[in-house]
Chains A and B, each alone.
Chain A
Amino acid sequence: MSPAIRTEALGKSFTLHLQGGTRIPVLSGVDLAVEPGECVALAGPSGAGKSTLMRCLYGNYGAGSGRILLRHRGAELDLASADARLMREVRRETLGYVSQFLRVIPRVPTLDIVAEPLVARGMPREAARARAAALLTRLNLPSALHALPPATFSGGEQQRVNLARGFAPGYPVLLLDEPTASLDAANRAVVLGLIEAAKAQGTAIIGIFHDTEIRDRVADRLFEVHPEQAFA
């Protein structure tokens, strides 16, 4: 089996031009490989760069150095050098990301937020909405809320909308940033089930889990992210 996603000597630093060009190194020499069906939990103290690594993998941050090799459309592709159009295609088809916070779009109903990535992949709108509704209901979000935009929802409800949106398409590679942070026990159990089902279907998962109970249940191994020395 070859990895679904792997990095080679991935590095990332930030240069703050507004602070006199201060350079903040965050990641260097990261070599991570995740097989299909495997779940790897990122470990390391706060500020070690776990979220930065996730954002680099998703292309939200540009990779500073090294390569990010993703299996996409049957071939390995270096995301570190992919242009915006290719990155969009990768996000539509192969790579999903559940961030901690939902970016709310004014006026768009919850159901459509979850259905949108399915429609983008070519699913007919009604079928996409049906799948979205089923997933939201599984995450204990009552159907009365599906027609409302989630702007006024609680943190836990918004997180579940985000989770439904991330899990609905069945991406081959899924990045989870604290997927259970604002959830109660019942909903954590649902998320646990979603992660296990995704793994069984061959999804490669990289996650940040502060919830050690969840982490120990789903993660096949830990990957230590080491903090860089600042101001090197």
Chain B
Amino acid sequence: MMETPLLEAHGLGLRFGTIPALDGVSLEIWPGEVVAIVGESGSGKTTLLRVLSGLLRPDAGSVAYRGPDGATHSVHDMGEAALRRLMRSDWGFVHQNPRDGLRMGVSAGGNVGERLMAVGARHYGGIRAEATEWLRRVEIDPARIDDTPQQFSGGMQQRLQIARTLVTRPRLVFMDEPTGGLDVSVQARLLDLIRELVADLGLAVLLVTHDIAAARLLAHRLLVMRQGRVVEQGLTDRVLDDPQHEYTQLLVASVLAA
């Protein structure tokens, strides 16, 4: 069934001046797989996410994406228009700051509907019905469909961004610290929502987080980054419960148990 990876990166390297932001990073993401990249600030994890999603060009290495048609495309050679098309349909991006992923002056329903229209939906009633359904799925009262995100709390904005991203049923979603700026109780709700939607829709997710507990909850597989390198990777519970690398041991030992 799932024979080939969705995304394959080989030997990625990138330097900012003298600082190696990425150093020999290779990884694969398979359909339906949630992969978390953990590590401290400056470890290169967000840079890796930006390179994998085509937002940044690496100095070395390649990223290949296999489309629904089975053809493989080099993410950094496909051109801006093709990449934008991919970002609108087959891929999704959930930003840490919902303002980066939402149109703040457009209604909640419009934010969700806009993505649908970008992939060809034209029937107003159908779009509004689907937007309503998605607001319900992310636990936003559909009565607020005509409110703008500016009138929403941070947690609601983040849930709206998730609805906007997932409404087109992308196959691969990039998430950059999706619970970053939120209160702990709001984080738990959001994490559970992401967990449920990802399982229901069978999405592949590449998640960047410094929150080890979030990674344990969501990810099937974990990559630990430090100074631009992947120092350890594997099954999430094994990396966290039987860490091999000195840095991973430090990372796990530094987590406060609740």
Contact = CB atoms under 8 A, between A and B. Distances in A.
B121 interface: no
A17 interface: yes
A189 interface: no
A85 B31 CA distance: 11
A112 to B, nearest CB: 9
Interface string B235-250: 1011001101110011
A62 interface: yes
B70 to A, nearest CB: 20
B241 A107 contact: no
A17 B244 CA distance: 9
A203 to B, nearest CB: 23
A84 B189 contact: no
What size tier do the contact residues of chain A reach? 10 to 19
A16 B235 contact: no
A107 B189 contact: yes
A26 to B, nearest CB: 11
B252 to A, nearest CB: 10
A60 B237 contact: yes
Given A18-B250, A61-B241, A62-B244, A84 B192 contact: no
Interface in B211-258: 217, 220-221, 233-235, 237-238, 241-242, 244-246, 249-250, 253
Nearest to A91: B235
A108 interface: yes
Interface string B86-100: 000000000000000
Interface string A56-81: 00011110000000000000000000
Given A85-B33, A88-B220, A105 B244 contact: no
Task: Tell me the dominant secondary structure on chain B's binding face.
Answer: helix
Interface residues of B, number: 23
Nearest to A88: B220
Interface in B151-187: none
A59 B246 contact: no
A106 B188 contact: yes
Interface in A89-140: 105-108
12 contacts: A15-B244, A18-B246, A18-B250, A61-B238, A62-B238, A84-B220, A84-B234, A85-B33, A85-B221, A87-B235, A105-B195, A107-B192
Given A55-B242, A85-B30, A106-B188, 13 more contacts: A17-B249, A17-B250, A18-B246, A55-B241, A59-B238, A60-B237, A84-B221, A84-B233, A84-B235, A85-B33, A105-B195, A106-B191, A107-B188
Interface of B: 30, 33, 188-189, 191-192, 195, 217, 220-221, 233-235, 237-238, 241-242, 244-246, 249-250, 253
Shortest 4 CB-CB contacts between residues of A and residues of B: A17-B246, A84-B235, A61-B242, A106-B188
